[in-house]
Amino acid sequence: MILSEPQVTVSEFEARTGWAVKPEGLCKGEVCVPAPEAAVGDDRLDAAVLSTKLGMPLVHDEATGTWALGPESLGHSLTTATAPDLELPDVDGNPFRLSSLHGRKVLLVAWASW
Amino acid sequence: MALDLDPEKARPWIDAASPTHPALIDRGHITNELFGFHNVPMAVWIDESGTLVRPAESASVEKRESMGPLPDDLPARIKDLIDEAQQIPDIGERYRAAVLDWVERGADSPYALSPDQVVSASHPRGRSEAEAAANFELGRHLHDAVGKDAAVPYWRAAHTLDPDNWTYKRQAWTLETTPEGQPSDLMQPPTELYEGNWLDDVKASGGGANYLTKPAFID
């Protein structure tokens, strides 16, 4: 997740990572990590706290003042078997949301031109 | 879903296939983070409720065609590369049969895993792999916002931090080795910018026979 400051809005964090901000902490599937110090005001989170609590590396490019917050590192690439509500564009830029396929089996294949 | 920084490189393949299913573009390889993809082709299976029933693993549904005898005058490095590529296991028939079994029998298919099995079988990700993901994404952002050269230090870091991630490596290599206006280069020979290249990295990781993350149901 690309950030222009070491903070992220709750909505952006939840949409990109699949983690949810709940009263009991930061939650994904059955996993909840207490992190009361992550809140910055009502709608923002401290990226450094997220990095510490969830093992999300925070990488900084000084020249552009940009941060990248990586995924959680809790042992496996999946923390839950619930598929994230991913939105990606098609080749013409039209957005497509994975959850629009609920009710159907999905074979999600990663390929590349290279 | 194509892991392609430049969607126009994927477009000819999509046009040729003319798929009836959605054909998406993941420019930032964010599905590596979300699902654990680290090479192509890989796939996950998602059931009607939106639950993963197989984690990211190598996927192919067609038997690979034999290349036949190679011309004698091929350069040695190209021969070497083709030899390694031919050692990559051909899982197409068994993988296709497993997919069709799941389509027909759903949760009763022996190939459909429980949620706990899916999570525990998903690709390992520790601090180093997560840091590689952050570096790759920062490089992708700087590639777009600043220029190609700005991405290089971060992509080099991603390659070092997660040497088993082929999408980070091959995406970066092919940008260097593909001539302007040409289809993506698949050979990815050595460059001055990156330490690795396809042939030498495949050899270093045990050869083409070890290239795939084979599903557990395929020996």
**B129-168: pLDDT as tens digits:** 999 999 999 999 999 999 999 999 999 999 999 999 999 9
Sign of CA dihedral B121, B126, B132, B137: positive
Q: Name the β-bridge partners of A31.
A: A28
Question: Cβ(A56)–Cβ(A50) under 8 Å?
Answer: yes
Question: Cβ(A84)–Cβ(A78) under 8 Å?
Answer: no
Report residue B146 CA to chain centroid gap.
Answer: 26
Q: How far is the alpha carbon of B70 from chain A, nearest alpha carbon, in Å?
A: 22
Q: If you measure CA to CA, which chain A residue comes closest to B33? A: A71
Q: How many CB pairs under 8 A join A and B?
A: 219
Residue range A37-62: mean pLDDT, rounded = 97
Residue range B6-14: mean pLDDT, rounded = 96
Q: How far is the alpha carbon of B141 from chain A, nearest alpha carbon, in Å?
A: 7
Beta-sheet pairing, A20-22 with A106-110: unpaired
Question: Cβ(B132)–Cβ(B161) under 8 Å?
Answer: yes
pLDDT score of B68 more than 90: no
B3 phi-psi bin (left φ>0, alpha ψ -120 to 50, beta other): beta
Q: If you measure CA to CA, which chain A residue comes closest to B1? A: A110
Q: How much is the pTM?
A: 0.95
Give me the pLDDT at residue B67, please.
78
Whole-angstrom Cα distance, residue B43 to residue B95?
Answer: 11
CB contact under 8 A, A56 and B51: no
Residue range A54-66: mean pLDDT, rounded = 98
Give me the pLDDT at residue B61, please.
85
Mutate to test the interface with A, among B131, B178, B182 (most CBs of A within 10 A): B131
Task: Please list, in sequence order, all residues whose beta carbon lies within 8 angstroms of the beta carbon of residue B73, skipping any fewer than 6 positions away.
Answer: none
Q: How far is the alpha carbon of B72 from chain A, nearest alpha carbon, in Å?
A: 26
Give me the pLDDT at residue B69, please.
83
B67 versus B24: the higher-pLDDT residue is: B24
Task: Please list, in sequence order, all residues whose beta carbon lies within 8 angstroms of the beta carbon of residue A5, skipping any fewer than 6 positions away.
Answer: A67
Q: If you measure CA to CA, which chain B residue comes closest to A78? A: B119
Give me the pLDDT at residue A98, please.
96
In 3D space, the residue among A8, A6, A9 whose CA is nearest the CA of residue A58 turns out to be A6
CB contact under 8 A, A108 and B11: no
Q: How far is the alpha carbon of A104 from chain B, nearest alpha carbon, in Å?
A: 5
pLDDT score of B66 more than 90: no
- Reported residue count of chain A is 114
